[in-house]
């Protein structure tokens, strides 16, 4: 009995492009036997059954309708697959399109440029890709714009550009950092790194487009942004871009718009000039290596402006940029910079589950019993903080106040602390600016504030007024009045005058809690000054020096007793006097579980002051 015939019909309206079989030929079910063409696209048609071609109803070039018969097949067993058939089904050679892709992909890697990598290594520095790989979690980096090349096709050969200007000197994309500790959602970041091995890390036409794209993606996805900013600024050598000066580019506005929306981390090593420095200056925190030079212009621009010939190493060296407050964290090299960046990011990713703490009783011995003896307030900060959790920002600028991010039982807090080793703890203009900006940073990203107060007040005197401190001190008050995060003030020793009020967010009852250690002492101004001013007539009336000194000491002792922490608490001008060993518990009772900045729609603050 003859087998039932299998008729193959056209699935579409089109043209017969190719008939790949002849009558009498054996075919397999998955074998292409006809190729149709429709709308310039080829549509292969498979046999559908094993068997033998019995008739062919169309010829190449025929126009056919959907459902029209093409070929008839007599079903049946066909010969076993040959080795040649298997070879055709599983080719051992790489497809040409994939091979071309893999070759181009390789040319974007460090492995394709060993000489450039060697030069970088000889300088004691790492490549852009090496820094990113060290920063992000393994396998998490998703690159944007990796096949870009410098916009110089009018002056250089394409192969030269592909081999020598990979990624147009900017490597960037999305990744995660600290995911094991904080989870994937909290760990996601955007990252971009200028590549100094490509045209000195300059800002080219296409790498501007790349970072514009990344800045927009970071805004859309609400991801923190880490920028490795080493480079020479604008690039004059690009030839493929239309326009004159490029001053209409959106990069700087896009990046600045991220301020206050997502944490911005800037890292630099080596030379960072002009446009690169402008982006760096928008960051919440700047981490810089010992060999950094940071300036708003490089040597060529300085010379072009008629300002003389200078060496790049003379422009904004690390000593200058840490002393003046530009750099927040100074590190030895890029490895330390990356480690600091990961630690910094962690404060904005949430609380840690695993932590170790110091014995609370150590806090009882840190303030000297002698009220005029200086001490290092960092010992208090480190004793309060979870072990190895503290990260001080701008330690050599505005040294009258310390600003530190740290954790207490895993929870991030921001600490401002008077430094009695500088001006007795008095607040000067630089310290006020430093504290105000740090308060903004903490509030923008929902980090509670802890203030360690030990100040005789704001700095005074004719010389001090040259620093415009009236305005700088005002910044502390208006900034504190604008925040919503919990603020806890711990008075360690001195709490005098307007400076103490500023350390409490505007006043001792203007925050969530103000408590004092037993060593606390209070007054509208320093006790000695208050006595000399308030009892000037009585003291002046005593001619004997010893007798006058005795009366003054007695009056000071009485004022000290009146302004003691316990007497302040008895009048409810502060909330309590506590055993120093209770400090951590008191802070934890206030900070609770604050909301995450990620849960908000938009910004809490319009921006974080770049200064």
Closest C-alpha to 337, from 272, 381, 399, 432: 272
| Among the ranges given (42-56, 165-179, 234-248, 313-327), the one the predictor scored with the smallest mean pLDDT | 234-248
pTM of the model: 0.86
The pLDDT confidence band at residue 91, using thresholds 50, 70 and 90, is low
Asked whether the predicted pLDDT for residue 485 surpasses 90, the reply is: yes
Tell me which residue of 396, 413, 88 sits closest to 404, measured CA to CA: 413
The confidence score (pLDDT) of residue 557 equals 76
What pLDDT is recorded for position 86?
47
**Residue spans of alpha helices (H) in 466-526:** 469-480, 497-503
pLDDT computed for residue 538 by the predictor? 79
Residue 450: how many other CB atoms lie within 10 Å: 26
- Quick one: pLDDT band at residue 90, thresholds 50, 70, 90? low
The pLDDT score that the predictor gives to residue 435 is 98
> Who wins on pLDDT, 205 or 503?
503
- Sorting pLDDT into bands at 50, 70 and 90, what band is 23? very high
Kindly state the average pLDDT of the residues 5-20: 93
Give the list of residues 6+ apart from residue 301 with CB closer than 8 angstroms, or none: 233, 273, 274
pLDDT the model gives residue 79: 79
Residues 511-535 have a mean pLDDT of 83
Rounded distance, CA 107 to CA 163, Å? 6
What pLDDT does residue 450 have?
98
Indicate the domain borders of the chain. 6-89, 99-347, 360-520+564-596, 527-563
The architecture that CATH gives domain 360-520+564-596 is: Alpha-Beta Complex (3.90)
Res. 145 pLDDT band, cuts 50 70 90: very high
Give the pLDDT band (50/70/90) at residue 82: very low
pLDDT at 190 over 50: yes
Lowest mean pLDDT among 191-205, 230-244, 417-431, 491-505: 230-244
Percent of the chain with pLDDT over 70: 96
Q: What is the pLDDT of residue 1?
A: 43
Using 50, 70 and 90 to split pLDDT, how confident is the model at 531? low
Query: Where residue 123 falls among pLDDT bands split at 50, 70, 90?
Result: very high
Question: Are 6-89 and 360-520+564-596 the same fold in CATH?
Answer: no
Mean pLDDT lowest for which of 166-170, 315-319, 368-372, 525-529?
525-529
**285 strand-pairing partners:** 265
Q: Where are the alpha helices (DSSP H) in 369-421?
A: 378-384
- pLDDT of the residue at 83: 43
What's the DSSP call for residue 201? G
Q: Which has more pLDDT, 329 or 82?
A: 329
DSSP 86: H
Query: pLDDT digits over 323-374, tens only?
Result: 999 999 999 999 999 999 999 999 999 999 999 999 999 999 999 999 889 9
Burial 472-492 (b: 16+ CB within 10 A, else e): bbebbbebbeebebbbbbbbb
Upper half-sphere CA count for residue 181 (Cβ side, 13 Å): 17
Mean pLDDT of the residues in the chain: 92
- Note the pLDDT of residue 527: 66
CA distances from 341 to 59, 63, 319, 415 (A): 69, 66, 20, 19
The pLDDT-based confidence of 235 (bands split at 50, 70, 90) is confident
pLDDT band (50, 70, 90) for residue 501: very high
Would you say residue 537 has pLDDT above 90? no
How far apart (Å, rounded) are the C-alpha atoms in residues 61 and 517?
96
Query: Fold for domain 6-89?
Result: OB fold (Dihydrolipoamide Acetyltransferase, E2P) (2.40.50)
Q: How far is CA 533 from CA 445, 498, 555, 559, in A?
A: 45, 18, 12, 13
- Give the whole-angstrom CA distance, residue 93 versus residue 567: 88
Which CATH topology does 99-347 take?
2-enoyl-CoA Hydratase; Chain A, domain 1 (3.90.226)
Per-residue pLDDT at 87 exceeds 50 = no
Q: 388, 282, 194: which is closest to 296 by C-alpha?
A: 282
Q: What is the mean pLDDT of residues 43-58?
A: 93
The CA-based dihedral angle spanning residues 368, 374, 379, 383, taken in that order and rounded to the nearest 10 degrees: 30
Q: What was the pLDDT predicted at 529?
A: 67
Structure confidence at residue 84 (pLDDT): 46
Instruction: Give the pLDDT score at 548.
Output: 81
452-482: per-residue pLDDT in tens? Answer: 999 999 988 888 888 889 999 999 999 999 9
pLDDT-based confidence at 81, cuts 50/70/90? Answer: low
Of residues 107 and 536, more confidently modeled? 107
Q: Strands 32-38 and 14-19, how do they pair?
A: antiparallel
442 pLDDT more than 90: yes
Average pLDDT, integer, range 232-236: 85
């Amino acid at each position: 009995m003859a087998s039932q015939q299998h008729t193959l019909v056209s699935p579409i309206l089109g043209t017969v492009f190719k008939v790949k079989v002849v009558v009498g030929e054996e075919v397999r079910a998955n074998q292409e036997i006809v190729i149709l063409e429709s709308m310039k696209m080829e549509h292969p048609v498979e046999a559908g059954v094993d068997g033998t071609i019995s008739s062919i109803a169309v010829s190449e070039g025929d126009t056919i309708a959907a459902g029209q018969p093409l070929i008839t097949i007599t079903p049946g067993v066909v010969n076993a697959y040959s080795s040649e058939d298997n070879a055709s089904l599983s080719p051992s050679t790489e497809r040409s399109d994939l091979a071309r892709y893999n070759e181009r992909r390789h040319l974007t890697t460090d492995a394709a440029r060993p000489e450039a990598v060697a030069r970088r290594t000889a300088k004691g520095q790492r490549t852009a890709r090496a820094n990113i790989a060290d920063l992000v979690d393994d396998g998490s980096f998703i690159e944007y714009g990796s096949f870009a090349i410098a916009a110089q096709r009018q002056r250089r050969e394409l192969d030269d550009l592909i081999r020598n200007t990979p990624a147009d000197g900017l490597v960037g994309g999305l990744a995660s950092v600290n995911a094991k500790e904080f989870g994937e959602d909290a760990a996601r970041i955007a990252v971009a790194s200028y590549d100094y091995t490509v045209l000195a890390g300059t800002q080219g036409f296409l790498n501007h487009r790349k970072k514009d794209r990344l800045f927009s993606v970071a805004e859309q996805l609400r991801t923190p942004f880490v920028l490795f900013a080493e480079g020479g600024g604008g690039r004059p050598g690009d030839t493929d871009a239309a326009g004159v000066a490029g001053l209409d580019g959106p990069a700087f506005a896009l990046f600045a718009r991220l301020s206050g929306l997502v944490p911005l981390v800037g890292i630099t090593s080596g030379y960072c000039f002009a446009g690169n420095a402008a982006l760096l200056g928008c960051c919440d925190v700047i981490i810089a290596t010992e060999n950094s030079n940071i300036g708003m212009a490089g040597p060529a621009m300085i010379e072009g402006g008629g300002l003389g010939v200078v060496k790049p190493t003379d422009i904004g060296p690390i000593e200058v940029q840490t002393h003046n407050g530009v750099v927040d964290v100074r590190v030895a090299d890029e490895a330390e910079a990356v480690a600091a960046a990961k630690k910094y990011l962690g404060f904005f990713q949430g609380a840690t589950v695993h932590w170790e703490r110091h014995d609370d009783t150590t806090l009882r011995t840190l303030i000297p019993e002698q009220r005029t003896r200086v001490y290092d307030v960092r010992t208090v900060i480190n004793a309060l903080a979870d072990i190895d959790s503290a990260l001080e920002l701008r330690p050599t600028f505005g040294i009258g106040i310390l600003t530190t991010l740290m954790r207490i039982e895993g929870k991030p807090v921001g600490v401002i602390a008077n430094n009695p080793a500088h001006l007795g703890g008095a607040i000067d203009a630089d310290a006020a600016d430093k504290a105000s900006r740090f308060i903004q940073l903490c509030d923008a990203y929902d980090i509670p504030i802890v203030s360690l107060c030990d100040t005789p007040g704001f700095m005074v005197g004719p010389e001090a007024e040259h620093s415009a401190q009236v305005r700088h001190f005002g910044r502390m008050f208006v900034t504190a009045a604008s925040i919503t995060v919990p603020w806890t003030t711990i008075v360690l020793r001195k709490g005098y005058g307007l400076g103490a009020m500023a350390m409490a967010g505007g006043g001792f009852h203007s925050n969530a809690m103000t408590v004092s250690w037993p060593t606390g002492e209070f007054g509208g101004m320093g006790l000695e000054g208050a006595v000399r001013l308030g009892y000037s007539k009585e003291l002046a009336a005593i001619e004997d020096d010893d007798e006058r000194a005795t009366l003054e000491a007695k009056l000071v002792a009485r004022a000290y007793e009146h302004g003691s922490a316990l007497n302040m608490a008895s009048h409810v001008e502060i909330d309590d006097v506590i055993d120093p060993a209770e400090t951590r518990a008191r802070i934890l009772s206030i900070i609770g579980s604050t909301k995450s900045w990620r849960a908000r729609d938009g910004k809490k603050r319009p921006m974080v002051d770049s200064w």
